[in-house]
Each structure stands twice: as C-alpha cells, then as structure tokens.
C-alpha cells in the first residue's frame, strides 16, 4: 500500500487494532494516540499497531513512509520514545537472522565496500547540495559560537585542523573524504597537501571540480588499498561503515600510513552499548551494512597500536545539525520533487528527524578521538 493510499484531504484518525499495549507504551513516553500535541501520533490505518508489534522498528518506519500514521514533530516524538526506552519492549524483527548473518559474514568486506555508495551517497548530488552547507560537509557541525550551518561546519573543519596541529607542507590522508570539504578547507587555510578517498563516484567527480587548482587528490578507493605515508590522517563520518570485523584492520591500515610522529583524528557517531547489527530500518533504507561503534569496540581495535590522546563528545550538536539539514531539505523540496518521490520525501524526513531525536535523547553520541602512534612528547593539549 503506497503513501498515497490515504490522501491528506480525506484522512481521518482511526482507533487501530491491538492498541492497548502500544497506547500504554507511548503514554509512558508522554505520547498520545490521535492527540493534539505536536509529538502525538495520528493513526490512519487500523492495522498500524499490528504492524508495529509484528515488525518492530522496521514496521514503524515503513508504515510512516506509506502514510499509515503521521506526526507533526517526529524529532520530539523520537526523543520521548527513546528516553522512555519504548523500542526495547517491541519485537526486533529480523534481528536474530541479522545477528547470525553478521557473525558469519563480513558485511563490510572489500567486495561489499562500494554498496553503501550505490544505496546512499550516489543518490544525487542535487539532493546533498540542497540539504548541506555551502561546503557540502555531510558530518556533524560544531555549533560552539556559531549561529548558522555554514559557520558551524567551518568551525568543525577548523577544529579538526587545530586538533591535529596542521602545518604548511604536511601531507594528509582523508579517509571517507565525501565531496572534499575537509580537503579543500585544509589546503586553502593551512597550506597542506591532501589525498582524499571515497567509495562514491558521485562524490569524487564533484569533489574534484570543487578542489580544482588545489594540492588535493581525490581517489575512488577503499581504505584497505590506500598507499603512501602521511603526516596526518583524518576520517570524518566514515568509520560507521567499517564494521566490527574490520575495526582492527582499519586502525592497522591507519598506523601503516602514518609517520611515527603523526596524529590521527577519528570523527564518528558513537553508541552507548556495543552491538553487532544496526537498526533494521536504517540498515534497509539509509545506511546498509553500517554499524555505530561503542567505546569498548574502538578501545579493543586501537589497543597496542595507538595512544589515545583525546576523546571529545559533542553529540548534542548533531541534533542541531540534523534539524538544519531538514530545514534545508524542506526549503528545496519543490525543486527536488521533480526527481524524488513523495515516498522518498517521507523516508528522508523520517531519517533526519528521528536521528535528531536520538541525539537529543543522548542515545547516540558524536566523538572526535585523537590518536598518536607512541604518545605526544610532553602530552597532548586540546586546542580551545
């Protein structure tokens, strides 16, 4: 049943079947069914709650895409549901199979490494140009002292450069370079040479145009095949695609590429608890083969390879970043709708706003971690 099955003009809220349990769970999160507050849900299909119970988070997200239910403020709904831990009392549809699959297979192997690009990063540069800041930075911004998305992203990029003490003439490797935002910024502002790698052809093609004339080389390449020696290595928002089976390989590769006195900065979403599989809805529709790492998983992966110099959590800033992306997406939807469907609009809205709610609820974090091969002489000092 498609998203147009219940046209807005004729939709009426209904009492869904098997509503008692879901209504009770939502009430514990201060969410009402067919209530009048922005974070209350409006139900339009009588089987909505049956689907919640049968399919868990996958059914919740898919039934939203299909117009079975709606909510004016999805971010506020998600924040309340996550703070009350409602999802833990629903079935985890497909989780047992997914966990077995993750144990038996390397879902982020070299052969599969380019799948995420086809599913997400190659959707269309027009989408990301409309949604992101002017530099096209698809990672969490740093809002300390910033009022706009453009300023907050520049502050993030500059923070990264200062944390790794960039100096003119240094050679930098950017693993997961996106459209070259960091590479361009670092080359222009700090006079360094940057090699950026990505598994997305769309990103590389546009990034090369954006970085033209600068000492920046962007390659379509998996991190496991990169060669060369670098004074600094950064990875901004790519580690979530590495997977636990490859965490150690990732850091071993970084260590091999880094000079003995070099520094590495890892910028990644972080989980409060270790997991082997991602949320089923996110895994199916947004980031296939992804997995948000925990402190423990990162700790095991870097043991014996690096000294952990600094661990900085500014996850609350991702809430503001995602809300800014959603505003931009909405603002440009009239133009984007010529290429993307209404179902895509609802899927993308659900992705951006529920993720914003997750960071607001502090169930997700954003970490910047600075690593050195043998320890910074005299100790590392985080820049103000």
Residue 101 pLDDT exceeds 70 = no
* Spatial CA neighbour of 239 closest among 176, 301, 287: 176
The DSSP output letter for 274 is: -
Q: Which of 71, 140, 161, 355 is catalytic?
A: 355
- The pLDDT, as a whole number, for residue 278 is 84
DSSP 359-383: HHTTSEEEEEEEEESS--TT-----
Kindly report each contact of residues 206-211 with a partner whose C-beta sits within 8 Å and lies 24 or more positions away, as own/partner.
206/125, 206/136, 206/179, 207/177, 207/178, 207/179, 207/180, 207/183, 208/180, 210/136, 210/179, 210/180, 210/184, 211/180, 211/183, 211/184, 211/187
Residue 355: active-site member:
yes
Mean of per-residue pLDDT scores for the chain: 89
- The pLDDT, as a whole number, for residue 13 is 79
* C-beta of residue 160 within 8 angstroms of C-beta of residue 190: no
DSSP 215-247: SEEEEE--GGG--S-EEEEEEES-GGGT-GGGH
d(CA 128, CA 343): 18
- The pLDDT, as a whole number, for residue 8 is 40
pLDDT, mean of residues 359-372: 97
Supply 255's token pair.
């260590």
Going by pLDDT thresholds of 50, 70 and 90, the confidence category of residue 289 is confident
Kindly report each contact of residues 8-16 with a partner whose C-beta sits within 8 Å and lies 24 or more positions away, as own/partner.
11/42, 11/44, 11/67, 12/44, 13/42, 13/43, 13/44, 14/43, 14/44, 14/45, 14/46, 15/43, 15/46, 16/43, 16/45, 16/46, 16/47, 16/48, 16/49, 16/50
In the chain the domains, ranked by start, together with CATH numbers, are 3-93 (no CATH), 111-372 (3.40.50.150)
Angstrom distances, CA of residue 193 to CA of 102, 184, 189, 190? 38, 10, 11, 9
- What are 270-280's pLDDT values in tens digits? 999 998 788 88
* Spatial CA neighbour of 95 closest among 55, 143, 42: 55
The residue whose two tokens read 């910074």 is 376
201 or 124: which carries more pLDDT confidence?
A: 201
- The pLDDT, as a whole number, for residue 122 is 62
DSSP 10-23: T------TTHHHHH
Supply 146's token pair.
């910033």
* Spatial CA neighbour of 315 closest among 142, 68, 71, 147: 142
- The pLDDT, as a whole number, for residue 9 is 36
pTM value > 0.95: no
- The pLDDT, as a whole number, for residue 114 is 53
């Amino acid at each position: 049943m498609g998203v147009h099955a219940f046209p807005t003009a004729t939709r009426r809220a209904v009492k869904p079947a098997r509503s008692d349990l879901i209504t009770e769970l939502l009430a514990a999160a201060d969410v009402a069914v067919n209530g009048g507050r922005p974070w209350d849900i409006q139900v339009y299909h009588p089987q909505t709650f049956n689907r919640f119970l049968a399919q868990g988070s996958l059914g919740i997200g898919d039934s939203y895409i299909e117009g079975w239910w709606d909510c004016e403020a999805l971010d506020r709904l998600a924040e309340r549901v996550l703070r009350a831990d409602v999802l833990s009392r629903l079935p985890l549809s497909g989780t047992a199979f997914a966990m077995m699959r993750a144990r038996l297979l390397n879902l982020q192997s070299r052969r599969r490494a380019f799948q995420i690009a086809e599913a997400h990063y190659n959707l269309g540069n027009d989408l990301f140009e409309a949604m992101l800041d002017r530099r096209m930075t698809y990672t969490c911004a740093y809002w300390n002292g910033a009022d706009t998305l453009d300023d907050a992203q520049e502050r993030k990029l500059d923070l990264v450069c200062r944390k790794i003490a960039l100096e003119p003439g240094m050679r930098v490797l950017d693993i997961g370079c996106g459209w070259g935002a960091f590479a361009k910024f670092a080359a222009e502002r700090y006079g360094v040479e940057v090699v950026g790698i990505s598994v997305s052809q769309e990103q590389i093609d546009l990034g090369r145009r954006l970085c033209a004339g600068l000492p920046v080389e962007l390659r379509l390449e998996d991190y496991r095949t990169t060669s060369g020696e670098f004074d600094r290595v950064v990875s901004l928002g790519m580690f979530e695609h590495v997977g636990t089976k490859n965490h150690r390989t990732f850091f071993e590769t970084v260590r091999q590429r880094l000079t003995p006195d070099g520094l590495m900065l890892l910028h990644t979403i972080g989980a409060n608890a270790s997991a082997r599989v991602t949320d089923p809805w996110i895994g199916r529709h947004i980031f296939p083969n992804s997995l948000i790492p925990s402190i423990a998983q990162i700790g095991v992966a870097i043991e014996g390879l690096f000294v952990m110099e600094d661990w900085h959590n500014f996850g609350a800033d991702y809430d503001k970043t995602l809300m800014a992306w959603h505003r931009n997406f909405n603002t440009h939807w009239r133009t984007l709708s010529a290429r993307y469907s209404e179902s895509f609009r609802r899927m993308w809205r659900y992705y951006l706003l529920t993720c914003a709610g997750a960071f607001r609820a502090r169930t997700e974090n954003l970490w910047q971690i600075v690593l050195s091969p043998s320890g910074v002489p005299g100790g590392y000092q985080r820049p103000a």
